[in-house]
Amino acid sequence: LAKTTQPISMDSYEGQEVNITCSHNNIATNDYITWYQQFPSQGPRFIIQGYKTKVTNEVASLFIPADRKSSTLSLPRVSLSDTAVYYCLVGDINSYDKVIFGPGTSLSVIP
Amino acid sequence: GAVVSQHPSWVICKSGTSVKIECRSLDFQATTMFWYRQFPKQSLMLMATSNEGSKATYEQGVEKDKFLINHASLTLSTLTVTSAHPEDSSFYICSALRVGRGWRTGTRDTQYFGPGTRLTVL
């Protein structure tokens, strides 16, 4: 299981773009990168997943450089409702292996 | 798609009683489900991996006789906290693994989480 490192917390003003970077120096060839969002007293919600380059969906973008040793979750024009904890997870696509949650990044959006 | 439900959403019980929590994958089948526990302001801690038709695999430090897991069908796993005590009070979250179609099509196995169950033991 590749270990991940993220900032513990971040603050941002409403309307700004937020970029949260995750380091995963030991990522393996078959590993995908997945991001989850968790609000207090709720289960984590799947945001986005990628293997390389850039992935975009209706809520976020995920940028992965060629060496795949890091990834950046980009949230465009955040609102107060984006205040949550964001987890970066790395795992093997061909495995039913468990994933281990790190402490995540607590994002606070300020009016 | 990929909806996972949990029941109940919250439960309060007396010390010494047993509590059962259900986890269901509503629109996909899940051979594998996971159970997590989360204390306030902490990350999720994996308790066990539940596989349909076989015994669960528990993480180190988790008492299997206290936290009974049954994965009786491809859409249902249950966690029973036996003889609950106040220190078992926590937020319990399950997830179900939806199998992807592999790297060639760009999808992989992904865990989808339930909304969680708040257990309070008095």
Q: What is the pLDDT of residues B28-58, one digit of tens each?
A: 888 889 999 999 989 999 999 998 888 899 9
What is the model's pLDDT at position A97? 65
Mean pLDDT of the residues in chain A: 91
Residues paired with residue B25 on neighbouring β-strands, in sequence order: B4
Closest residue in chain A to residue B48, using alpha carbons only: A98
Mean pLDDT of the residues in chain B: 90
Nearest to B110 among A42, A46, A101 (CB): A46
pLDDT at A101 over 90: no
Q: Cis peptide before B40, with omega less than 30 degrees from 0?
A: no
Q: Mean pLDDT across the stretch B53-79?
A: 92
Residues paired with residue A5 on neighbouring β-strands, in sequence order: A23
> A49, B110: Cβ pair inside 8 Å?
yes
Give SS3 for B103: helix
| B58 and chain A in contact, CB less than 8 A | no
> b vs e for B22-31, b when ≥16 Cβ sit within 10 Å of the residue's Cβ?
bbbbeebebb
Closest residue in chain A to residue B43, using alpha carbons only: A103
| pLDDT one-digit tens code per residue, B85-105 | 999 999 999 999 887 655 555
> A42, B97: Cβ pair inside 8 Å?
no
How many Cβ atoms sit within 10 Å of the Cβ of residue A8?
A: 10
| B28 and chain A in contact, CB less than 8 A | no
| B44 and chain A in contact, CB less than 8 A | yes
Question: B109 vs B76, which has greater pLDDT?
Answer: B76
Find how far residue B114's CA is from the centre of its chain. 8
Separation of alpha carbons A17 and B63, rounded Å: 44
Lowest-confidence segment of A83-97, B30-44, B62-76 by average pLDDT: A83-97
Mutate to test the interface with B, among A98, A99, A105 (most CBs of B within 10 A): A98
Q: Mean pLDDT across the stretch B62-84?
A: 94
* Separation in Å, CA of A78 to nearest CA in chain B: 22
